[in-house]
Chain A
């Protein structure tokens, strides 16, 4: 593993189903983030975690939950998917002791039908 990995790469999901997007980093960064990217809206922060064991809400947290049991992993869960959650999801990490530069994963393309 080098950097940030996300799984799955893409997924088609029926509305109402539960889905967990996985994110793992090997840089030992203390902070991790989940964004969604939608055309014309840029990236919007869903949830974040400044250190293992803590999480916080971003700009668009409704319908999503996260956990941070350890430094490396930061899964994002959609408890009951809806079509408006169709998007591309990016995980990122940073070392908050530096300038705050964030490193991004390759993304997960999620379609909710």
Chain B
């Protein structure tokens, strides 16, 4: 079965530091992969998606992710963290029937 594992339920970085949120997937077919962000008391918003085109995907708010088939990974990065990046981030993989399977989420804290 297809699944997603997010390593680290909480990540803390200093403002201006590199953000790295880890996501590994399990899929028997070429995957469609997504990163979503959730700010407090809001719904999920799409950050970026991988759909079998370029392996380096650029998203909103300066985030990007690289699809690495050999490592079955789709880690999310941002060169310099802002206070406004503090949120919960979810990785997801598309499965049969046009459904998404989500990871458990990673809460990003940005310290001033």
CA of A33 to CA of B98 in the docked complex: distance in angstroms? 10
Residues of B close to A104: CB separation below 8 A? 36, 43-45
Which chain B residue has the least Cβ–Cβ distance from A96? B98
**Binary interface profile of A, 26-70, with partner B (CB < 8 Å = 1, else 0)?**
000001010100001111110010100000101000000000000
Chain A residues bordering chain B, tally (CB within 8 A): 27
**Interface of A (DSSP majority class):** strand
Asked whether, in the complex, the Cβ of A43 is within 8 Å of the Cβ of B90, the reply is: yes
A94 CB–B CB distance under 8 Å = yes
Q: Which of chain A's residues have a CB closer than 8 A to the CB of B44?
A: 43, 90, 92, 102, 104
Q: Are A58 and B99 in contact (CB under 8 A)?
A: yes
User: Whole-angstrom distance between the alpha carbons of A50 and B51 in the complex?
Assistant: 20
Contacts of B13 in A (CB 8 A): none
Given contacts A40-B104, A100-B32, contact A50 B98 (CB under 8 A): yes
- Which chain B positions have C-beta within 8 A of A33? 99-100
How many residues of B are counted as interface, with CB atoms below 8 angstroms from the partner's CB atoms?
A: 23
Let me know if A106 is at the binding interface, CB within 8 A: yes
Residues of B with C-beta under 8 A to A48 = 97, 99
Once the chains are docked, how many angstroms separate the CA of A94 from the CA of B44?
13
**B34 lies within 8 A of chain A by Cβ:** yes
B104 touches A42 (CB 8 A): yes
B103 to chain A: which residues have CB within 8 Å?
Answer: 42
B72 at interface (Cβ–Cβ under 8 A)?
Answer: no
Closest to A91 in B: B43
Query: Do residues A42 and B102 form an inter-chain contact, with CB atoms below 8 A?
Result: yes
Q: Which of B61-100 contact A (CB under 8 A)?
A: 90, 94, 97-100
4 closest A-B pairs by beta carbon, nearest first, are: A104-B43, A96-B98, A42-B104, A42-B102
- 14 pairs from A and B in contact (CB 8 Å cutoff): A33-B99, A35-B102, A41-B104, A43-B102, A44-B102, A92-B44, A99-B32, A100-B98, A101-B34, A102-B46, A104-B44, A104-B45, A107-B41, A107-B43
Known: A42-B90, A43-B102, A102-B46. 8 other contacts (CB 8 A): A41-B104, A43-B90, A99-B32, A99-B49, A100-B32, A102-B100, A106-B42, A107-B42
